[in-house]
């Protein structure tokens, strides 16, 4: 798609926006990058890309140049002050994923869901690469899709983690293989209703045809008529093409195809991640034997039920800081054997935690609450399990070790985002891990 002579604005000077801007410029467009952030903090970016015109700070909200289309970074809401005027003026708006896809003529695997996207994206890429198929991971994880396109690598498959924010602006984007991991309410600070959030994710299927494949969670799938051929998976539903058995075995139909205990993965939610990845591999022609071997060498990403350490009396500590919503927390509780000492809490982002009640009663020996929602979570747990609100993460770690009995598990799974106290879930998880190791080194338990 030649853009010579076209004037294009790109919303957002982050990694995705800059990749889209560079891609548009490569194809002949005159590009203006708009970002309402602090101009002083963004100045180094302006200096790094002198070939791009940038309008920064409050001026970005007032800029009124004539453009043929607006390309948005996924973090910018269509209703935001930066985007809304252009939407109201009926300027065509494309997301970075949509825009990049118009310059990619190879296979696309699109993976969405409320939880498990990143691990499944990594696993899928690992299985493909290990079995001789050049694949690259990107999208909401790792490299922006536009950056992948710019690099022109020797890849046959782009494995893309896709958030609802990225799927909001889909038009022609066409995944040859789609993966729906699960669905639960999230991002209610961006969406007015759960249905709005769900509708954004369902855009994944808009352009799939009968020659494509849709891999869906049998227990928590999209529940719409799909044009693509379907493959189902579940560690919980009774009937699915890929399903879970005793002892960690994963089955395709009636045949065992993998053993979770041979991998570095733990919990039924990770079994589902592996099922989904193997389903993609099977569509791409990989053998189950080859995928089983590849799965053994896969190292899961950090902060996702990551084993931090074990104490002398058998207390195991897991860092699940990536659990930034209720469904992720529920998945961890459902997948692990109790009784657990649970540390949960963080930013107030409008989520309903009522569904946690049966899990608190069944799996949690002691709850330690943290952050903005520590008191509401403590009130929720009343009568279900003992609870201690903590004023800091240091206090939370100390309390958890005091309450943990020999051979129990301490699970740090906040169930919400981290921005009340930390820079992100990685920062939160790193601090937690450091405190745990310090605590054990000091023999405080």
Measured between alpha carbons, how far is 126 from 332 in angstroms, rounded to an integer? 23
Half-sphere exposure of 318 (CA within 13 A, CB side): 25
Residue among 333, 18, 19 nearest 146 (CA): 19
Instruction: Please report which helix (H) or strand (E) contains residue 434, including its range.
Output: helix 425-441
φ and ψ at 288, to 5 degrees? -65, -35
| Predicted pLDDT at 45 | 92
| Predicted pLDDT at 99 | 97
Residue among 363, 343, 347, 351 nearest 403 (CA): 343
Domains of the chain: 7-91 (3.40.50.720), 103-296 (3.40.1190.10), 306-441 (3.90.190.20)
| Predicted pLDDT at 387 | 98
DSSP per-residue letters across 280-296: HHHHTT--HHHHHHHHH
| Predicted pLDDT at 186 | 62
| Predicted pLDDT at 445 | 44
**Residues 148/138, Cβ–Cβ less than 8 Å:** yes
**Residues 349/188, Cβ–Cβ less than 8 Å:** yes
User: Averaged in consecutive runs of 10 residues, what is the pLDDT profile of the chain (445 residues)?
Assistant: 93 95 96 95 91 94 94 90 95 96 98 91 98 97 95 97 90 97 70 81 95 95 92 91 92 95 86 97 98 94 86 92 91 86 94 94 97 96 97 97 96 94 95 96 69
| Residues 6+ away with beta carbon under 8 Å from 346 | 324, 370, 371, 372, 373, 414, 415, 416, 417, 418, 419, 420, 421, 428
Q: Is 161 helix (H, G, I), strand (E, B) or coil?
A: strand
| Predicted pLDDT at 185 | 59
């Amino acid at each position: 798609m030649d853009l010579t002579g076209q004037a294009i604005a790109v919303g957002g000077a982050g990694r995705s926006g800059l990749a889209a801007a560079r891609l548009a410029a490569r194809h002949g467009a005159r590009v203006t990058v708009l970002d309402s952030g602090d101009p002083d903090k963004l100045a180094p970016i302006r200096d790094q890309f002198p070939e791009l015109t940038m309008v920064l700070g409050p001026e970005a909200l007032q800029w009124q140049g004539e453009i043929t289309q607006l390309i948005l970074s996924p973090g910018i809401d269509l209703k935001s002050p930066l985007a809304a005027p252009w939407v109201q003026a009926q300027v065509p708006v494309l997301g970075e994923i949509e825009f990049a896809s118009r310059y990619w003529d190879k296979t696309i695997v699109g993976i969405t869901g409320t939880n498990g996207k990143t691990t499944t994206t990594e696993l899928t890429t690992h299985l493909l690469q290990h079995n001789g198929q050049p694949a690259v991971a990107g999208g909401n994880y790792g490299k922006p899709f536009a950056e992948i396109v710019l690099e022109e690598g020797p890849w046959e498959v782009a494995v893309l983690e896709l958030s609802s924010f990225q799927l909001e602006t889909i038009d022609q984007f066409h995944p040859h293989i789609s993966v729906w991991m699960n669905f639960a309410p999230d991002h209610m600070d961006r969406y007015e209703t759960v249905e709005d959030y769900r509708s954004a994710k369902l855009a994944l299927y808009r352009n799939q045809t009968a020659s494509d494949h849709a891999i869906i969670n049998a227990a928590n799938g999209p529940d719409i008529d799909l044009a693509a051929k379907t493959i189902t998976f579940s560690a919980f539903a009774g009937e699915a093409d890929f399903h879970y058995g005793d002892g960690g075995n994963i089955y395709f139909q009636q045949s065992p195809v993998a053993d979770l205990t041979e991998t570095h993965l733990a919990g039924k939610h990770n079994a589902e991640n592996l099922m989904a990845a193997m389903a993609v591999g099977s569509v791409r022609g990989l053998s189950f034997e080859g995928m089983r071997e590849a799965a053994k060498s896969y190292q899961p990403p950090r902060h996702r039920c990551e084993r931090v350490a074990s104490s002398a009396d058998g207390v195991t500590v897991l860092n699940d800081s990536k659990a930034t919503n209720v469904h992720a927390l529920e998945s961890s509780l459902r997948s692990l054997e109790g009784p657990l000492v649970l540390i949960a809490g963080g930013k107030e982002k409008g989520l309903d935690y009522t569904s946690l009640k049966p899990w608190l009663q069944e799996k949690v020996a002691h709850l330690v609450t943290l952050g903005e929602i520590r008191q509401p979570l403590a009130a929720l747990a009343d009568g279900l399990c003992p609870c201690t609100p903590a004023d800091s993460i240091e206090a939370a770690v100390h309390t958890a070790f005091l309450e943990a009995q020999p051979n129990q598990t301490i699970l740090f799974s906040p169930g919400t985002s981290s921005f009340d106290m930390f820079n992100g879930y990685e920062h939160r998880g790193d601090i937690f891990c450091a405190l745990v190791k310090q605590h054990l080194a000091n023999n405080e338990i």
